[in-house]
Amino acid sequence: MTTTTTTIRKSYGNRKLFSCPEDYPIRSPKQKSGSVNNLLKKSGEDVNKLIKYIDDNIVGKSNAFLGPFGRRKAVFCDYAASGRSLQFIEEYILREILPTYGNTHFTTSISSLQTTLFR
């Protein structure tokens, strides 16, 4: 299968305000994202490190509550509707998104335009 893609400019520390469409990969509808496939191809040690990193970053993982039977660890069981927050994602949102977050109903200010482009 031939893959046609354009170069993606990656920027982790300083994201661009706006990127033209030619900066994004062009994929055929049959072509799937490679991220899951790439993860499965990695060594078991790499996958275990990733799982541990995610597990270590769960917000409120060690929370306990005081009930009629004493202090107990809270067990979160409702992953169907929403999962637990992850510290590294919350830090990214705090650092990169919230400083420029604005109303998405208008595109008359830079913050509203940026928030619309986050979609």
State the pLDDT confidence band at 12, using cuts at 50, 70 and 90: very low
26 in any annotated domain: no
Q: How confident is the model at residue 30 (pLDDT cuts 50, 70, 90)?
A: low
Question: Is 70 part of any domain?
Answer: yes
- Does the pLDDT at position 19 exceed 80? no
Q: Is residue 25 part of a domain?
A: no
Q: Is residue 69 part of a domain?
A: yes
Is residue 50 in some structural domain? yes
Report if residue 73 sits inside a domain.
yes
Q: Which pLDDT band holds residue 54 (cuts at 50, 70, 90)?
A: very high
C-alpha distance from residue 113 to each of 16, 24, 35, 46, 92 (Å): 13, 19, 29, 38, 19
CA atoms lying within 13 Å on the CB side of residue 19? 14
Max distance between CA atoms of the chain, in angstroms, equals 63
Task: Check the CA dihedral 97-101-106-107 and report its sign.
Answer: negative
Residue 21 domain-assigned?
A: no
| Range of the structural domain that residue 44 is part of | 39-117
- With a pLDDT cut of 90, the percent of the chain lying above it is 23
Domain count, the chain: 1
Confidence of residue 56 (pLDDT cuts 50, 70, 90): very high
Distance CA 53, CA 77 (A): 20
Domain presence at residue 1:
no
Model pTM? Answer: 0.55
